[in-house]
Every structure is written in C-alpha cells, then in structure tokens.
Amino acid sequence: MSNNLTVSNTTLVWGFGLVLVALFIGYREKLGINKDVLVGVVRAIIQLSIVGYILKFVIKTDDNWLTMACFVIIVINASWNAGKRGNGIPKAFQNSLLAISVGTVVTLGTLVLTGSIKFVPEQIVPVTGMIASNIMVAIGLCYRNMLQTFTDREQQVLEKLALGADIKLASIDILRDSIKSGMQPTIDSIKTLGLVSLPGMMSGLIFAGVDPVKAIKYQIMVTFMLLASTGLGSIISCYLGYREFYNQQKQLNSKLLQ
C-alpha cells in the first residue's frame, strides 16, 4: 500500500480558509449561523484530535477489552444523541440504546463471523462508528417522523381507538411511515453510489492507495451493512417508540403531540 497522504499542519491551516467561505456566506446573507459554524469547527478539531490519539493508542495496544470498551462508548454515545432527537418521547434513550446495540451487534457480528472484517481494533472501531452513526441518524429521523405523523393524524388515531382498535392497529400506518423514513436516506444514497458519491470507506481506501476495484468490494459490503443496520435500528426504535404515545389505558397521550 503506498502512502502518499500529505496533510500536514500547515496544509490544515491553509484549509481553514475554506471555513472562512462558509463564515462569509453566513455573514453576507445574515443567516445567523456563524456562531454554530465556529463552535462546530472547534469541536470537530478537538474531538477528532482526541479520537485520533485514542485510536492510535487502542490500535497499538491491540487489546480485546479495550476494543470492546470503544464499542460500548460509541454505542452509548450514539444512543444518547438519538435519544435527544426523541424530543420528549419517553424512554427515547433506552429504546435507542437497545436499537443501536442490536443493530450494531448483529451487523458487526455477521461481518466478523463471515470473515469480512477481523476482530482487530483498526477494523472494529471504525466500522462500529460507521454503523452506530448511521443507525443514530435513522432513529432520529424515525422519531421526528413519528412525532409529526402522530400530530398530523391525531384524529384518525383517536377514531381507530374509539372503534376498539388495539394501539398497534391504530398506529400501523404511522409505524410504517416512520420505519420507512429512517431507512429512506440509506436507500436513496445506495441508488447514487458511484454515480454521485464515492463514499467515505471507499474514498479512504483509494486515498490510502488501495486498488479501487478492491475498495469497491469493501464499499459494497458497507452498503449491505448499512441497509441491515438502519433497518434493524429503525424497526426496533419505532416498535418500542410508538407505545410511548399511549398511556396504560391505551389512550393517546396528547401532551406528546406537537
């Protein structure tokens, strides 16, 4: 593998000029985003630097427990963020934790057991991050869609309940739409793979000098992995989440609606 990556600290400083472009647009168009841009950039630099050093240590140590600890930290962090997107849905964190754990374990387990990746930190940690972050985004979309559609279709849900429908039958359309909304971005991005975007994994390998044909194989594997994981994450979070819209008497909890 040839290593021709030449990002030095100096080139990074020059690259910062590109942030100024975003800041200029924000300033000129009075978008009120400059504070967010700056905070985001500073956070990205700090977080990535810390992660870089941690990863260096984890990879160098090559200890299974340390790798597992990284896995747990990533999953909890992703669940925490997905839970926040629940916007008041009770147990959003716990449900996200279960959804992300199952999605990540099943997908990662399959990849390891089939020999697609090895149980070594340099493979497990980045792939866990990739899976967990995609499920996190999918769950966020599921929660947002669920809150919105329960609000929009409140009358219909009430009528179904009044007719004696169980909460699942009363919410089934909302459930389907929400699961679909969680999976849709992954499905959409798959359609344009290679045509519009050369995704992170593949680009990274090509950057690192890997034969693009080999890189494609990894990307295809990542695609399968993301489809399964966002599907699992969406279905688990939605099936656990919709129950929170009802109380024990199987009445719609109107306080949750927007």
Identify the residue whose tokens are 């690259």: 15
Q: Which is nearer to another protein, 148 or 223 (CB)?
A: 148
Q: Which is nearer to another protein, 166 or 211 (CB)?
A: 166
Q: Which is nearer to another protein, 161 or 202 (CB)?
A: 161
Cβ at position 174, least distance to another protein in Å: 13
Q: Which is nearer to another protein, 63 or 159 (CB)?
A: 159
Cβ at position 222, least distance to another protein in Å: 38
Beta strands in 46-108 (DSSP E): none
Q: Which is nearer to another protein, 49 or 251 (CB)?
A: 251
Dihedral sign, CA of 204, 10, 59, 48?
negative
Interhelix angle 64-84/34-61, nearest 10 degrees? 160
Cβ at position 91, least distance to another protein in Å: 21
User: Residue 249: what are its φ and ψ, rounded to 5°?
Assistant: -85, 10
Cβ at position 151, least distance to another protein in Å: 14
Q: Which is nearer to another protein, 13 or 163 (CB)?
A: 163
Cβ at position 250, least distance to another protein in Å: 4
Asked if residue 186 lies in contact with residue 138, where contact means CB atoms within 8 angstroms, the answer is yes
Interhelix angle 154-162/167-191, nearest 10 degrees? 140
Residues that bind another protein (CB under 8 A): 155-156, 158-166, 169, 247, 249-251
How many residues can be counted in the chain? 258
Cβ at position 125, least distance to another protein in Å: 47
210: alpha, beta or left, given left = phi > 0 and alpha = psi -120 to 50? Answer: beta
Which residues, at least 6 apart from 136, have a Cβ–Cβ distance to it below 8 Å?
78, 79, 81, 82, 96, 100, 233
Q: Which helix (H) or strand (E) holds 132?
A: helix 121-152
Identify the residue whose tokens are 């080139």: 11
CA dihedral 110, 180, 243, 76 (to 10 degrees): 40
Cβ at position 164, least distance to another protein in Å: 3
Q: Which is nearer to another protein, 3 or 155 (CB)?
A: 155
